Amino acid sequence: MTSLTETVSANGDDGYTDIIEMMGNSSNFTAAYMIVGHAGDGATKRNLFVRFDAVDLEAGFTIASAKLQFILNANNSDSFATKIRVDLNSSADPAAYSDGDAQEGASLTTDGNSVVWTVGSGSAGATVDSPDITALVNSLLALGNWDTGQAMIFQVTYEGGGSAEEIRFSTNEHGSHNPPKLIVTYTESIKPGGIPQKLMLNELF
């Protein structure tokens, strides 16, 4: 079993979008935090997105577990439902979201799969793990045009009741450099003869 940790490595690869009913949307790529929640104004919900560049997974790998990992940017006492989704356009190795993408809510191409996540309370600086997202990673690897080294984009969307509540996670821009992570454990596919596809030459001698 192999463990892989991918980290957001560019300022434009994490952020959040204000989705404002009847008024258009706005986005933030440069803050030291990203938000999922609701402004409590009856109109504005906030979804966050993360992009992991050059993910070193192959389509034939068997994924044993996968999760997103964040650092709380502020003390959190709110608790509400969110959903995690993966962008299946990631199979085309997308660049970082542009401002226009985010102002449309960083809309995703999905197969309908999502993982419900209710984040609990915690103190600023605490590590927070998502539920298992193996099914989402597998959705991407199974498309047929995924290739190792391409990007994966995930979005965490607000699914609460619309009261004033939010959770803030640190971004790549944070002064202590606490970017989001994607952590995956997997086994490699085996070629005929029992040799893993990614076996390095120096392992043969």
pLDDT digits (tens, 9 = 90+) for 108-147: 666 678 999 998 889 999 999 999 999 999 998 988 888 8
Question: In the structure encoding, which two tokens stand for residue 158, read together?
Answer: 């607000």
Identify the residue with better confidence: 178 or 198. 178
Q: State whether the Cα torsion 4-9-13-14 is positive or negative.
A: positive
Please work out, in degrees rounded to the nearest 5, the angle formed at the alpha carbon of residue 67 by the alpha carbons of 13 and 173. 30
CA geometry: angle at 140 spanning 32 and 8, to 5°?
A: 20
Q: What is the pLDDT of residues 90-105, one digit of tens each?
A: 556 666 665 545 444 4
CA dihedral 66, 160, 18, 168 (to 10 degrees): -60
Residue that wins the pLDDT comparison between 195 and 112: 112
* Identity of the residue numbered 100: G
- Of the candidates 167, 174, 203, 170, the one whose C-alpha atom is nearest the C-alpha of residue 38 is 167
pTM: predicted TM-score of the whole model, two decimal places: 0.85
**In the 8-state DSSP scheme, what is residue 122?**
B
Q: How much is the pLDDT for 28?
A: 76
Query: How high is the pLDDT of residue 29?
Result: 74
- Report the relative pairing of strands 165-170 and 33-38 from DSSP bridges: antiparallel
Question: What is the C-alpha separation between 150 and 190, in angstroms, rounded?
Answer: 22
Model pLDDT, residue 98? 57
User: Per-residue pLDDT for 79 more than 60?
Assistant: yes
**Does 24 have pLDDT greater than 80?**
no
